[in-house]
Chains A and B, each alone.
Chain A
């Protein structure tokens, strides 16, 4: 167990809806990264949050947005859901100093119908 938690575990939405996924980072970690893993693929970097600000973004449209809170937990929001958004969403936490040592949560599996 990494100490990184995510909620919910599973989620089913329909096209056009909005969704919020949550991540609690490991104690002592102040950096959270989000990844999308489509079926049969490796995880793809969405963005990273450090000190409540977005600190780098992958090739994802603006309808993917996030937040980081003072306690370093984080949210991933996706607006106007599309069928291709169906995936496992993983968050990873790390300290800034040990940013190359990331610990992943169990993921949220999102299905868009």
Chain B
């Protein structure tokens, strides 16, 4: 079974602080994909990143960075120098190649990030 846990329900920071959102996943598959999505108040899910299970290289994109560690089954997301526009709900998700539905996403419950000016 696939499972994603986002233990942090809500996080509040002040602008310019760094913040890390945690994601822990469970899967028995050796080939799988991990995702982060951002959901602003408008509701649309905005794709941020996809990593496959064979690529543990950390990634940086502007103020965003991701730390993938298979040893701890974690895929954490860090925002550096946070801004008010970063306020949103962030979801971590997992999909695996095994099973009847390719690409089926299993989402965590999300972390509400609020950045105060």
Contact = CB atoms under 8 A, between A and B. Distances in A.
Given A100-B95, A106-B42, A106-B44, A43 B50 contact: no
A72 interface: no
Contact of B91 (A31, A42, A102, A109): A42
- The contact size tier of chain B is 20 to 34
Interface string A19-54: 000000000000101010000111111001000000
B50 A48 contact: no
Nearest to B112: A40
Interface stretch (B11-19, B69-77, B103-111): B103-111
Given A100-B33, A100-B50, A100-B95, A45 B101 contact: yes
Contacts of A106: 42-44
Contacts of B7: none
B68 to A, nearest CB: 15
Contacts of B46: 104
A101 interface: yes
Nearest to B101: A56
Contacts of B110: 41-42
A81 interface: no
Interface residues of A, number: 30
Nearest to A96: B102
B91 A33 contact: no
Contact of B100 (A56, A104, A105): A56
B103 A100 contact: yes
Interface of A: 2, 31, 33, 35, 40-45, 48, 55-58, 88, 90, 92, 94, 96, 99-107, 109
Interface of B: 4, 33, 37, 42-47, 50, 52, 91, 93, 95, 99-110
14 contacts: A42-B93, A42-B107, A45-B105, A48-B101, A88-B43, A90-B43, A94-B103, A100-B50, A100-B102, A100-B103, A101-B50, A102-B105, A104-B46, A106-B43
